[in-house]
């Protein structure tokens, strides 16, 4: 039995992954952005060990979530599933003065990871759209560029993919991988999404708990359990380190040594 924390597990792929792992006998901790949503998540995933609330758009909310989660013990795996999609019509800003897409999709998984007792495995949800992200890191907060929700999302998924590779390099004892779940018919993906919903969550649950040697390898970008080639910048240690420094500067927490 593995202890697994899944962010954003009140609905969509996070909830489906939680139900699957619970059905296999694993100890799953759910997460939602509010107490009300956390209760809804618990009702939707009977048998979950816990359901925690934490607003990932807030740095204080992420720290509080990390403290709550850590108090329950070390996790064998963390699945960073929570995200804001690509249809944001404007540059929404959080209470910390950060673009919400950057805060939720990138800074939250970074800060949660470095704030928890080091977990056994890490799974970062990426997207095929990361190939359209900007590896220049010239304007990650979109203060100079005209806002484009789709491109901001692509940037965030590029950063998520690079974080998976950065942690794989810095923590060689912790398998860390990025997963493209495909364009699946969730609330974020929309009802017309053509990809397989079950395959959309199976890769992350497999990476989280399987003893299959292919599941315990590290530093990969996968789609439906098959390794795919990420944008080349993802594999560049210099780009990874620049991204980690950005995350450290914006969150106030240094990256892992």
- Provide the annotated active-site residues: 153, 157
- The three-point CA angle 91-94-96 to 5° equals 130
Interatomic CA distance for residues 209 and 229, integer angstroms? 23
The tally of CA atoms less than 13 A away on the side-chain side of residue 21 is: 34
For residue 5, the SS3 value is strand
Interatomic CA distance for residues 123 and 76, integer angstroms? 11
Interatomic CA distance for residues 178 and 167, integer angstroms? 11
| Main-chain dihedrals φ then ψ at residue 59, nearest 5 degrees | -60, -40
Distances (CA, A) of 162 to 111, 128, 179, 193, 234: 15, 13, 12, 26, 5
Residues 6 or more apart in contact with residue 171 via CB below 8 angstroms: 118, 256
Going 213 to 217 to 8 to 196, the CA torsion angle's sign is negative
């Amino acid at each position: 039995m593995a202890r697994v924390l899944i962010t954003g597990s009140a609905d969509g792929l996070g909830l489906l992954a939680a139900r699957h792992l619970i059905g296999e006998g694993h100890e799953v901790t759910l997460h939602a952005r509010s107490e009300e949503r956390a209760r809804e998540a618990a009702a939707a995933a009977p048998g979950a060990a816990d359901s925690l609330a934490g607003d990932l758009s807030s740095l204080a909310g992420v720290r509080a979530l990390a403290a709550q989660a850590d108090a329950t013990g070390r996790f064998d795996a963390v699945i960073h599933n929570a995200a804001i999609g690509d249809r944001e019509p404007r540059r929404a800003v959080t209470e910390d003065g950060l673009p919400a897409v950057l805060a939720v999709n990138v800074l939250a998984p970074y800060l949660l990871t470095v704030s928890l007792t080091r977990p056994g495995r890490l799974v970062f949800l990426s997207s095929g759209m990361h190939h359209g992200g900007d590896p220049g890191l010239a304007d990650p907060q979109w203060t100079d560029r005209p806002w484009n929700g789709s491109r901001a999302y692509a940037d965030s998924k590029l950063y998520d993919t690079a974080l998976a590779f950065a942690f794989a390099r810095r923590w060689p004892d912790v398998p860390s991988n990025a997963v493209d779940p495909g364009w699946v018919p969730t609330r974020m993906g929309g009802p017309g999404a053509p990809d397989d919903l079950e395959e959309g969550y199976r890769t992350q649950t497999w990476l989280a708990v399987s003893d299959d040697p292919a599941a315990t390898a590290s530093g990969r970008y996968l789609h439906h359990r098959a390794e795919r080639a990420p944008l080349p910048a993802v594999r560049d240690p210099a780009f990874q380190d620049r991204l980690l420094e950005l995350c450290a500067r914006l969150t106030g927490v240094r990256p892992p040594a």
